[in-house]
Structure 1
Amino acid sequence: MDNAKFEYLLRLGDSALILSQQLSKWCGKGPALEEDMALTNVALDLLGQTRMWLSYAGELEGRGRDEDKLAFLRDAHEMRCCLITEQPNGNYADTTMRQFYFDTFHYFLMQGLVNSSDPRIAEIAAKSVKEITYHLRRSSDLVVRLGDGTADSHAKIQSAANELWAYTGEMFAYDAVENAMVEQGVAPEAAGLRAAFLDHVARVFEEATLTMLPPDAWMHSGGKQGRHTEHLGYILAEMQFLQRAYPGAEW
């Protein structure tokens, strides 16, 4: 088994999985019916992507763990999601900014993975990028609407931008796993992704009349290596309860 590729697939799948779970909590609670439906659709898109990444990871591992076992039977220290995905939903500005930051990274990552040397990864990325293009367009538009809206909406989205900025650096902090993927031609280099991310965020923030924090600000890290915030444990307790309580249960 290619351990680096297995770990990389977990990172792709786990980030999509946890963010999907977070967004699903807004179902029936959105600020408007259109937004309620849009968030649910984004959550479902991410869940579909999760299944593809984790299914491939399970096949590569060869230990009989499918996407369900990888999603529901791993503890927090075994999860490889980026820390930004496990941050609380908060108010709608918090959720919107978390989504915008992740969507921007996710979009440019998938654009790079479309050219992956691994045909399976390239295929999944090509399918996913169509959905993520919509995700990014939607969250970018919402950031502009909130930032250039009322004084209250501007203050809330600026606060969210500031609070979550320290979680953006981890997405581009490559370690041995991702460096191995770059060397094999599987994944794009971090520098190009980060430059594209910063450029898009800067353009959207300018239109939204928001202030962007310095790119070299201190950043959190550790999620991709299994070191998480306290929030992930609560997310998993809710998400995994049924499978843990009734092992092997099927609908």
Structure 2
Amino acid sequence: MSDDHVYLSLAEGHDDGSDARWAFGTGFEDPLHGVDTAVPESVDAAGLAAQCLALGDDALVLAQRLAEWITLAPELEEEVALANIGLDLLGQARLLYARCGQADGTSRTEDAYAYFRDADDFRNVRLVELPNGDFAFSVLRLLVFACWRLAHFTELATSPDPVLAAIAAKGVNELAYHRQYAAEWVVRLGDGTEESHARMLTALESQAPYWEELFAAEDVRDAVRADLRQVLDAAGLPVPHTAPLPGDGRDGEHTEYLAPLLAELQSVARAHPEATW
């Protein structure tokens, strides 16, 4: 099975009258249409579902934060770039939710995971749900997230589950661009004016305690920290050393910022749960 096979289905429409849809009422086909979604006997289905759910939640929530920059980014070019990165993450979330619905045996759709769960049911890391702050905060967060997710997806590209492996392999290409884009801005701001440098320092101080949730996995910790150190050194910024905050988003423990974000994201779908157009 090729990873392109999985992703090509994102662009396929359908004329069969079915009610499958994504992004509420859009009528797109099942993202894993035509792919053998049986969980291999060697794979723990519950563990696979939990992993896909957490990674899907990370992507969905950060995509929503990035969408908030539309009309607010400092330049039109950056607005387009951030929007496209958000769309990449939405595509990843869609496939991961679809795989979760197959693995957990519920056959739930992507809409069900995205729009009809409350904040306590989400398993994203807390870093992605924090408000955008200024541009320095957002590009630094994107850098950290992209470095971590790229390292993690590189590992998952050899997953014993062929569907997750295909999703990860395709996502690696997207995440490499996300990391490059964010790194260029972190260096530009960190090594820029006195004001931009100060803003980067403030962003580091405020979000670094949330990074520890990402670094919990020992298999990617060293690679992620090496990537971050390289960028921060080039930006003239210190590598922060902070203690992790109590709680864990992976266990459904979130900041006060997630519920309002989801309320906005889910409002139309919950008001009109069966609507299509």
Q: Tell me the TM-score normalized by structure 1.
A: 0.90
Question: Partner residue of 1:245?
Answer: 271
In structure 1, what is the Cα distance between the partners aligned to 2:59 and 2:179?
Answer: 14
Contact 2:137 2:203 (8 Å CA) reproduced: yes
In structure 2, what is the Cα distance between the partners aligned to 1:172 and 1:218?
Answer: 10
Name the aligned partner's letter for residue 223 of structure 1: G
Deviation, structure 1 residue 64: 3.4
Residues 1:56 and 2:99 aligned together = yes
Residues 1:169 and 2:228 aligned together = no
CA pair 167-220 structure 1, distance change in 2 beyond 3 A: farther
Residues 1:24 and 2:51 aligned together = no
In structure 1, what is the Cα distance between the partners aligned to 2:99 and 2:200?
Answer: 37
In structure 2, what is the Cα distance between the partners aligned to 1:47 and 1:145?
Answer: 27
Deviation, structure 1 residue 218: 3.0
Contact 2:187 2:235 (8 Å CA) reproduced: yes
In structure 2, what is the Cα distance between the partners aligned to 1:35 and 1:141?
Answer: 12
Question: Partner residue of 1:201?
Answer: 228
Among 50, 54, 60, the alignment partner of 1:7 is 50
Deviation, structure 1 residue 130: 0.6
Name the aligned partner's letter for residue 205 of structure 1: L
In structure 1, what is the Cα distance between the partners aligned to 2:81 and 2:212?
Answer: 27
Deviation, structure 1 residue 63: 2.1
Higher relative contact order (CA 8 A, sep 6+): 1
In structure 1, what is the Cα distance between the partners aligned to 2:253 and 2:245?
Answer: 14
Name the aligned partner's letter for residue 211 of structure 1: P
In structure 2, what is the Cα distance between the partners aligned to 1:154 and 1:107?
Answer: 26
Task: Give a deviation string over 1:122-148, Cα, whole Å, max 9, x none.
Answer: 100011111000000110111000000
Contact 2:210 2:244 (8 Å CA) reproduced: no
Question: Partner residue of 2:262?
Answer: 236
Q: SS in structure 2 opposite 1:139? A: helix
Task: Give a deviation string over 1:30-84, Cα, whole Å, max 9, x none.
Answer: 1011101100000000000000000110112232311111100000010011100
Q: SS in structure 1 opposite 2:183? A: helix
Unaligned runs of 5+ in 1: 174-189
In structure 2, what is the Cα distance between the partners aligned to 1:248 and 1:63?
Answer: 19
Unaligned runs of 5+ in 2: 1-43
Among 133, 143, 146, the alignment partner of 2:186 is 143
In structure 1, what is the Cα distance between the partners aligned to 2:243 and 2:104?
Answer: 37
Task: Give a deviation string over 1:171-225, Cα, whole Å, max 9, x none.
Answer: 232xxxxxxxxxxxxxxxx2231101111111111110001112x6334541011
In structure 2, what is the Cα distance between the partners aligned to 1:238 and 1:100?
Answer: 25
Q: SS in structure 2 opposite 1:167? A: helix
Contact 1:17 1:50 (8 Å CA) reproduced: yes
Name the aligned partner's letter for residue 36 of structure 1: E
Q: % of aligned pairs identical?
A: 39
Among 251, 261, 264, the alignment partner of 1:225 is 251
Name the aligned partner's letter for residue 38 of structure 1: A
Question: Partner residue of 1:213?
Answer: 240
Among 113, 121, 127, the alignment partner of 2:164 is 121
Contact 1:169 1:220 (8 Å CA) reproduced: no
Contact 1:83 1:221 (8 Å CA) reproduced: no
Counting matched residue pairs gives 234
Name the aligned partner's letter for residue 86 of structure 2: A
Name the aligned partner's letter for residue 97 of structure 1: L
In structure 1, what is the Cα distance between the partners aligned to 2:135 and 2:225?
Answer: 23
How big is the alpha-carbon RMSD for the aligned residues of Structure 1 and Structure 2?
1.2
Q: Once superposed, which parts of structure 1, at least 4 consecutive aligned residues long, lie more than 6 Å away?
A: none
In structure 2, what is the Cα distance between the partners aligned to 1:32 and 1:66?
Answer: 36
Name the aligned partner's letter for residue 99 of structure 1: L
In structure 2, what is the Cα distance between the partners aligned to 1:60 and 1:165?
Answer: 34
Deviation, structure 1 residue 6: 1.1
Q: Tell me the TM-score normalized by structure 2.
A: 0.82
